[in-house]
């Protein structure tokens, strides 16, 4: 039996459409030859361009379509030149996290053999960890609604038991899944600032309660400042890290830096009923329209979508295709022949994506 999945697609702004087009071609190549699943993709308007054209960055029809989809694939939204009246940028991708309660921001940090990195890794040191960023509260709680007077400004950090419990359960489940797949040792690190803030002591207490329910997984804590240091000094010690929204925002860009830049960093924002898959980077207006954007983060986000849908609907072929797609990216990177400019190569977006499609080969 073949199951068809409805995928809401947001190409968005800047380099968004340039990286989305080849990614959809690769995904439809997989889907068209699969026995157990099909992807039915619908492109939807949202973002800075849509705001300029309609006065609405996330039209209600796009939001409703996304809400009813099986998964959402998003490239990049927002442009520094297009802003709301209060000076903040258009960011419907963040609105979606709140609207769809996507509390778990999944940011894998994996350095593939041959991948450019500022780290000097020795033979046995393999960097492969996942940072989970809470994405609906924390210091983003008063996002765009902070209190500002002539002399003072206030933003509120919010941590709730309900969201923290879901977040930590997600982190431990992921560590168990990685351990079972032979990817990680089975460790979850709670990243906080519990030595200074009572809100983080609360966060840590809820983490410890969840840890007690997972005796097979090692649970520990780290302060966010020390974590930034260790991510540079010894990133290979991490497996799954879980943290607050703002800390996660910053650490995930540090993770992307370890991977040689934003062009290699995929992500997922996952809730109990919905999920958005998108690269960590923004719309990169400085290189938009030149055909030089790295499509790998977008393609890897597509692979994460296949893996998530496959696990959710118990479709091994889909999980396998997610793995095949990730392996195809790995082989292009380790071959170091078809790299885009950000990775030191000269290939175009299309050439890099085509190399991934070629590395995928045909279905065995
Ligand atoms: P946002 O705040 O919307 O996430 P940002 O301010 O982090 O965006 P980006 O748009 O992500 O900025 O771009 C940051 C830098 O990384 C830019 O120099 C951009 O050209 C580069 N960059 C981002 N994505 C890619 C990509 N896919 N390929 C190559 N370079 C990229």
CA 263 – ligand 1 centroid, Å: 8
Are 53 and 135 members of one domain? no
Query: Which H helix or E strand runs over 342?
Result: none
Q: Which CATH number fits the domain that encloses residue 339?
A: 3.40.718.10
Q: What Rg do the C-alpha atoms of the chain give, in angstroms?
A: 20
Task: State whether 152 and 64 are in the same domain.
Answer: no
When divided into structural domains, the chain yields a total of 2
74: CA distance to ligand 1 center in Å?
A: 15
Q: In the listed set 218, 238, 258, which residue is the last one of a domain according to the structure? A: 258
Q: pLDDT tens, 173-216?
A: 999 999 998 999 999 999 999 999 999 999 999 999 999 999 99
Nearest CA to ligand 1 atom 2: 282
Burial of 249 (0-12, 13-18, 19+ CB in 10 A): middle
Longest dimension (CA), the chain: 66
Among 262, 263, 341, the mutation site with the greatest number of ligand 1 atoms within 8 A of its Cβ is: 262
Element (H, E) at 333: helix 316-335
Count of C-beta atoms within a 10 Å radius of residue 203? 27
- Give the ligand 1 atom nearest the CA of 294: 28
- The string of pLDDT tens digits covering residues 315-340 is 999 999 999 999 999 999 988 789 99
Please tell me the predicted confidence (pLDDT) of residue 258.
Answer: 95
Distance from the first to the final alpha carbon of the chain: 19
My answer on whether 234 and 354 are in the same domain is no
In contact, 241 and 234? CB cutoff 8 Å: no
Which residue is closest in CA terms to ligand 1's atom 19?
284
Give every residue of the chain whose pLDDT is below 50, as ranges.
none
Q: How far is the CA of 305 from the centre of ligand 1 (A)?
A: 22
Residue 147 and residue 250 in one domain: yes
109 within domain boundaries: no
H helix or E strand, kind and range, residue 19 = helix 16-33
- Please give the distance, rounded to the nearest whole angstrom, from the Cα atom of residue 356 to the centre of ligand 1: 21
Looking at the fold, whether 183 and 235 belong to one and the same domain comes out as: yes
User: For position 356, what pLDDT does the model report?
Assistant: 97
| Domain range for 157 | 118-258
User: Is residue 111 a part of any domain in this protein?
Assistant: no
Cα–ligand 1 centroid distance for 15 (angstroms): 9
Last residue of a domain, one of 195, 227, 258: 258
Q: How far apart are CA 182 and CA 167, in angstroms?
A: 23
Lining ligand 1 with CB less than 6 A are: 15, 78, 262-263, 281-284, 286-287, 293-294, 297, 342
Q: Which of 281, 285, 298 has most ligand 1 atoms within 8 Å of its beta carbon, as the pocket-test mutant?
A: 281
Percent of the chain with pLDDT over 90: 89
Rounded-to-integer distance, Cα 4 and Cα 328, Å:
24
Tell how far the Cα of 125 is from the centroid of ligand 1, in angstroms. Answer: 28
* CA-wise closest residue to 308 among 104, 98, 168: 104
Indicate whether 225 and 122 sit together in one domain. yes
Q: Please, is 169 exposed, middle or buried when counting C-beta atoms within 10 Å of its C-beta (0-12, 13-18, 19+)?
A: middle
Residue 123 phi, psi (nearest 5): -45, -50
pTM for the model: 0.92
> Do the beta carbons of residue 204 and residue 245 sit within 8 Å?
no
Q: What is the pLDDT of residue 335?
A: 87
User: Is 123 found in the same domain as 233?
Assistant: yes
Query: What is the DSSP-derived secondary structure letter of residue 349?
Result: H
Closest atom of ligand 1 to 298 CA is: 27
pLDDT given at position 115: 85
Look at ligand 1, atom 14, and give the residue with the nearest C-alpha. 284
pLDDT at 114: 81
């Amino acid at each position: 039996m073949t199951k068809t999945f409805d995928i809401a697609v947001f190409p968005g702004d800047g380099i968004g459409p340039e990286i989305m087009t080849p990614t959809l071609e690769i995904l439809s190549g997989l889907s068209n030859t699969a026995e157990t699943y099909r992807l039915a993709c619908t492109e939807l308007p949202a973002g800075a361009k849509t705001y300029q054209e309609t006065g609405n960055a996330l039209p209600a029809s796009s939001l409703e379509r996304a809400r009813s989809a099986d998964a959402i694939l998003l490239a990049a939204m927002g442009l520094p030149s297009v802003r709301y009246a209060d000076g903040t940028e258009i960011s419907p991708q963040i609105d979606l996290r709140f609207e769809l309660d996507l509390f778990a921001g999944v940011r894998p940090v994996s350095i593939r053999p041959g991948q450019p990195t500022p780290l000097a890794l020795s033979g046995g040191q393999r960097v492969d960890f996942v940072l989970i960023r809470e994405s609906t509260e924390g210091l983003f709680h008063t996002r765009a609604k902070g209190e500002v007077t002539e002399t003072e400004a206030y933003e509120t950090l919010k941590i709730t038991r309900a969201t923290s419990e879901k977040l930590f359960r997600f982190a431990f489940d992921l560590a168990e899944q990685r351990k079972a797949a032979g990817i990680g040792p089975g460790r979850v690190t709670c990243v906080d600032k519990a030595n200074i803030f009572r809100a983080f002591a609360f966060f840590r207490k809820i983490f410890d309660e969840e840890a007690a329910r997972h005796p097979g997984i090692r649970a520990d804590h780290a302060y966010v400042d020390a974590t930034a240091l260790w991510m540079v000094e010894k990133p290979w010690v991490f497996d799954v890290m879980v943290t607050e929204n703002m800390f996660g925002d910053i650490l995930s860009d540090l993770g992307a830096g370890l991977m040689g830049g934003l062009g290699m960093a995929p992500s997922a924002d996952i809730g109990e009923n919905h999920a958005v898959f998108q690269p960590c980077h923004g719309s990169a207006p400085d290189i938009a329209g030149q055909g030089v954007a790295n499509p790998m983060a977008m393609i890897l986000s597509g692979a994460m979508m296949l893996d998530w849908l496959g696990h959710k609907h118990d479709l091994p072929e889909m999980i396998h295709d997610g793995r095949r797609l990730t392996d195809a990216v790995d082989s292009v990177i380790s071959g170091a022949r078809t790299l885009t400019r950000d990775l030191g190569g000269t290939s175009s977006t299309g050439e890099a994506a085509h190399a991934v499609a070629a590395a995928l080969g045909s279905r065995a």
